[in-house]
């Protein structure tokens, strides 16, 4: 298995980041080879036992890629729903689809399980869309790591109060709720830049062809009964 030049470069940088920052985030778009890059980075880092967390339907492809690359370390691949069953000793955790643990303001159950598993360990995150809706989604992703750049803020609300988010109020169904989605993009990016590695399909040389089709839906009004 031969990596593409950019995969070699990113895996080198990610391995170094695991040593210096205790984490690495591969924000690589679909079809650019996130999995191979991450598996290679784990070997370059010197891991001996790796836990790979992903979606259930992705498990076969992860195991196939591991077999193709044939690295020197042992790999255990599990899905998010099985995190509560995870035991054993690992020296690196890879979290695929990392944006799925970005719920806020409270951490999701899977984020809490990952925080237990990742305590004291280096973490590599993989996602094509790290913050699809708001940069507030970055907080709990990094919260699971003991080396989070925001470790001084043990919960999301303290992070908000430190100036990372402008709290707003929204009215839904007549009730006022706090809206924490307006994060300070520049401030978040500055903190994550040392361990964030991005790559797009365009950079990889893929030709992208979009076909846009407009669908018109006729709205009807249903009178009250």
- The CATH code of the domain that includes 187 is 3.40.50.10810
Strands (E), 32-126: 49-54, 74-79, 92-95, 123-126
Residue 119 lies inside a defined structural domain of this protein = yes
Gap between the Cα atoms of 35 and 32, Å rounded? 9
Residue 156 lies inside a defined structural domain of this protein = yes
Q: Which residues contact 56 (CB under 8 A, 6 or more apart)?
A: 79, 80, 81
Region for 163 from its dihedrals, namely left if φ exceeds 0, alpha if ψ lies in -120 to 50, beta otherwise: left
Res. 224 pLDDT band, cuts 50 70 90: low
Model confidence pLDDT, tens digit, residues 80-111:
999 999 999 999 999 999 999 999 999 999 99
Q: Minimal CA–CA distance to 154: which of 165, 143, 166, 162?
A: 143
- Residue 210's pLDDT is what? 59
**pLDDT (mean) for 132-151:** 98
Q: Which residues contact 98 (CB under 8 A, 6 or more apart)?
A: 25, 125, 126, 127, 130, 141
Residue 88 lies inside a defined structural domain of this protein = yes
- Residue 215's pLDDT is what? 81
**Is pLDDT of 193 > 80?**
yes
Q: What is the DSSP string of 191-222?
A: HHGGGEEEE-HHHHT----------------P
Residue 213 lies inside a defined structural domain of this protein = no
Res. 223 pLDDT band, cuts 50 70 90: low
For the chain, the straight-line distance linking the first and the last C-alpha, in angstroms and rounded, comes to 66
- Residue 208's pLDDT is what? 61
Strand partners, 54: 79
- Residue 205's pLDDT is what? 82
Residue 197 lies inside a defined structural domain of this protein = yes
Residue 163 lies inside a defined structural domain of this protein = yes
Gap between the Cα atoms of 66 and 77, Å rounded? 10
Given a contact cutoff of 8 angstroms between Cβ atoms, the answer to whether 101 and 109 are in contact is no
Q: Is the pTM of this model over 0.85?
A: yes
Res. 206 pLDDT band, cuts 50 70 90: confident
Percentage of the chain exceeding pLDDT 90:
85
**Residue 188: CA count within 13 A, CB half-sphere:** 21
Domain encompassing residue 107: 5-204
Average pLDDT score over the chain: 94
Contacts 24+ apart (CB under 8 A), 106-114: 106/156, 107/140, 107/143, 107/156, 108/140, 110/80, 110/83, 111/140, 111/141, 111/143, 111/144, 113/83, 113/84, 113/86, 114/53, 114/83, 114/144
Number of domains, the chain: 1
Residue 210 lies inside a defined structural domain of this protein = no
Res. 209 pLDDT band, cuts 50 70 90: low
- Residue 220's pLDDT is what? 72
How big is the CA angle at 130 (ends 129 and 133), to the nearest 5 degrees? 80
Residue 51 lies inside a defined structural domain of this protein = yes
- Residue 189's pLDDT is what? 98
Res. 225 pLDDT band, cuts 50 70 90: low
Given a contact cutoff of 8 angstroms between Cβ atoms, the answer to whether 191 and 152 are in contact is no
């Amino acid at each position: 298995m031969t990596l593409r030049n950019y995969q070699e470069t990113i895996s080198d940088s990610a391995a170094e980041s695991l040593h210096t920052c205790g984490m690495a985030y591969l924000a690589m778009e679909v079809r650019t080879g996130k999995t191979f890059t991450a598996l290679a980075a784990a070997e370059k880092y010197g891991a001996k036992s790796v836990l790979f967390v992903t979606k259930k339907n992705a498990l076969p492809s992860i195991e196939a890629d591991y077999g193709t690359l044939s690295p020197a370390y042992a790999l255990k691949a599990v899905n998010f729903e099985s995190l509560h069953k995870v035991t054993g000793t690992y020296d690196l955790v890879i979290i695929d689809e990392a944006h799925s643990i970005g719920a806020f303001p409270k951490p999701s159950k899977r984020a809490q399980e990952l925080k237990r598993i990742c305590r004291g360990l280096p973490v590599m995150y993989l996602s094509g869309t790290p913050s699809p809706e708001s940069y507030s989604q970055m907080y709990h992703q990094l919260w699971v790591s003991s080396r989070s750049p925001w470790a001084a803020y043990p919960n999301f609300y303290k992070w908000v109060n430190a100036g990372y988010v402008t709290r707003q109020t929204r009215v839904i169904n007549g009730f006022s709720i706090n809206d924490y989605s307006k994060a300070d993009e520049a401030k978040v990016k500055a903190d994550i830049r040392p361990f964030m590695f991005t790559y797009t399909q365009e950079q990889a040389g893929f030709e992208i062809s979009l076909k846009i089709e407009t669908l018109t839906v006729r709205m009807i009004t249903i009178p009250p009964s």
